[in-house]
Amino acid sequence: MNSPIHWSESLRAQTHKALESHGLDMPGPAFESMSFKNADGGYGLMPIDDLLAGRFVIHRRGSDATESFDTPDAVIEAGWVLD
């Protein structure tokens, strides 16, 4: 990731923990989706149903783009963290 934004280690760890637990260990309540922000300045939503099923899919806000990942580490390496 070549971006001027570098997320703190604590935010990256919090994101990893929430994803690894499939949303069951979230820092706050989530309803239909979890909000994410990307180091490229973008924002996205991960549907809770996908997360509970072990699918890491982020739908970028303002576009039809969808990004899918195999692991929580892959989500974070792509620049995504909890918003």
pLDDT band, residue 80 (cuts 50/70/90): very high
pLDDT digits (tens, 9 = 90+) for 14-27: 999 989 987 766 65
Distance CA 18, CA 40 (A): 21
1 in a structural domain: no
34 in a structural domain: yes
Distance CA 54, CA 22 (A): 6
pLDDT digits (tens, 9 = 90+) for 23-66: 766 655 557 889 999 999 999 999 988 998 999 999 999 999 99
47 in a structural domain: yes
Distance CA 38, CA 44 (A): 8
Total domains present in the chain:
1
- 34: containing domain: 9-82
As given in the structure block, the two tokens for residue 54 are 């072990």
53 in a structural domain: yes
**Which residue type occupies 17?**
K
